[in-house]
Amino acid sequence: MAADLDETTAGYNELVKKDNGDLVDGKGWKPIGNLSNNGKFTGIFNGLGNSISGLVIHRETENYVGLFSYNEGTIKKTVLDTSDVEGDKYVGVLVGANSGNITSVNITGVVDATEYAGGLVGVNFSPGTVEESQANVELICDSEIAGGLIGNNQGTVDESTSSGSVTGNENIGGLVGLNSYEDHGLITGCSSDAAVEGAISVGGLVGYNINAEISNSHATGSVDGDRNIGGLVGKNKSASISSSYATGNVTADIIEARVYVGGLVGYNINTEILDSYATGDVIGYAACGGLVGNNSNGTLRNSYAVGSVTGYASIGGLIGYTYGEVIEYCYSRGLVYGTGSYIGGLIGRNYNNSTYGISTITNNYYDSDTTQQTDTGKGLPRSTTQMQEGTADSTIEGENMYVDWENTIWDFGTVSEYPKLK
């Protein structure tokens, strides 16, 4: 694309919007390509850094909606500014569905769809890749699977970001709504500061992460929902999260059991969380934790939470409710407040599950001064002085601190600082 395109460009009135303001055919731009074998875009579209402004598509009953319908080729170095896109399923400003390569594409605008909606791409099929791309959109999804960048990712997303706002019902994420497909679904080096609101499986970065991987990524936006709500991931199943963090506040909008609210992950199932942390405040009712709300047979290692946690029952500075597997080399220090049963500085309730048993708690600590809790058996209570002055395998005020913690992973800072991940 040799130059910018906008409403003044020749052909705009014939392809998008007429001089009187009416959309062409009442629908605006017709997406390039279709789903037939000969209709998918397979070439190279190089925008050369130029922009397309004023793209309007109102095809509320149609699927695979975007500038392109379906991409199997390469789209790169393109800006789509002030876009207005509506469709039914598989809807994105750039492309409805992608199994090719998208690199260095920037999006701004509004997206409205029923499901499988993204600011950039509706669904990214394997082996599709999205790299070094950005979306700043107001996205509204009437049903499920919506993300600020991609609705459903089954391929690879690398070094990409999203901002704005994302609103929907189920599997709603700041970057990706549903990150899943067998062994695919890889997100690395990505971020989102979008404000996210939904009902079930709502996350600052990803709504539902299943059989997939997230690494070196973060989310900073606020997250509001009804169930399975997390600052980074709402629901995380048979997957992995490593070297990632969330800073946004997380709030449950309903008051009932089994809500599962966490500063990093709301509901964690059979999954490893490694070298990660959360700093946002958490508000819910039951099974609320500074890092994880409900940890069902998941492993947590070398991670921490610093935000306050408020709720009724099974409320913990790190984890609200847990069973099975191992929790080791973790700490929490945010205020913990609950008016019901199972309240803990580190863990609210460590449940003896009939299949997996309790979680093994190894060398984990919490600040009894700042959490205002003193429970034992679910983490070791220590004073602020001990937490800040302690280093790996040290003794402070006559008690062991940070036993077997690794200096290659943790930076213990000065005597007035808590440990941080390197």
DSSP string over 47-59 = -TT-EEE--EEE-
Query: Which of the four pLDDT bands, split at 50, 70 and 90, describes residue 269?
Result: very high
Whether 391 and 417 have beta carbons less than 8 Å apart is answered as no
Is 43 part of a structural domain of the chain?
yes
Measure the CA angle with vertex 193, ends 284 and 410; round to 5°: 80
Looking at residue 262, its amino acid is G
370 neighbors 334 (Cβ within 8 angstroms): yes
Cβ–Cβ < 8 Å for 168, 144: yes
Report in angstroms the alpha-carbon separations of 211 from 180, 225, 232, 314. 6, 23, 16, 27
- What is the per-residue pLDDT across 336-380, written as a single tens digit (0 to 9) for each? 999 999 999 999 999 999 999 999 999 999 999 999 999 999 999
Digit-coded pLDDT (tens) for 181-195: 666 799 999 999 999
* Residue 245 token pair: 């963090």
Angle, CA 184 vertex, CA 212 and CA 188 arms, to 5°: 60
- The answer to whether position 13 is within a domain reads no
Q: What is the pLDDT of residue 11?
A: 74
> ∠ at Cα 144 (267, 247), nearest 5°?
45
Total-model pTM: 0.96
Domain coverage including residue 51:
34-421
Buried-state track 255-283, b at ≥16 Cβ within 10 A, e below 16: eeeebbbbbbbbbbbebbbbbbbbbbbbb
Instruction: Tell me: pLDDT of 70 over 70.
Output: yes
Number of domains in the chain: 1
Q: What is the pLDDT of residues 299-347, one digit of tens each?
A: 999 999 999 999 999 999 999 999 999 999 999 999 999 999 999 999 9
CB burial of 358-389 (b: ≥16 within 10 Å; e: otherwise) equals ebebebbbbbbbbbebebeebbbbbeeebbbb
- How many Cβ atoms are within 10 Å of 25's Cβ, its own excluded? 11
23 is a domain residue: no
Query: Which sign, positive or negative, has the C-alpha torsion 24, 28, 31, 35?
Result: negative
CA 197 to each of CA 201, 218, 233, 267: distance values in angstroms, whole numbers, following the listed order: 10, 17, 13, 17
Task: Note whether residue 9 is domain-resident.
Answer: no
Contact 50, 79 (CB under 8 A): yes
**pLDDT of res. 18:** 65
- Determine the pLDDT at residue 26: 77
Among 317, 251, 321, smallest CA distance to 286 is for: 321
Using pLDDT thresholds of 50, 70 and 90, give the confidence band for residue 111. Answer: very high
In which band, very low, low, confident or very high, does the pLDDT at 35 lie, cut at 50, 70 and 90?
confident
352: buried, middle or exposed (CB in 10 Å: 19+, 13-18, 0-12)?
Answer: exposed
Going by DSSP bridges, is the β-strand pair 195-197/186-188 parallel, antiparallel, or unpaired?
Answer: unpaired
pLDDT in tens, 133-159: 999 999 999 999 999 999 999 999 999
Query: Is residue 304 assigned to a domain?
Result: yes
The pLDDT assigned to 14 comes to 74
Establish if 107 belongs to a structural domain: yes
Q: Is 202 inside a domain boundary? A: yes
Nearest residue to 198 (alpha-carbon basis) of 172, 237, 161: 172
**Does residue 347 belong to any structural domain of this protein?**
yes
Token pair of 227 as six digits = 């169930």
**pLDDT value at position 183?**
63
Q: Within its chain, how far is the Cα of 385 from the centroid? A: 34
Q: What is the CA radius of gyration of the chain?
A: 23
Tens digit of each residue's pLDDT (9 = 90 or more) over 118-133: 999 999 999 999 999 9
How is the chain split among helix, strand and coil, in percent rounded to 5? Answer: 5, 50, 45
Residue type for position 303: S
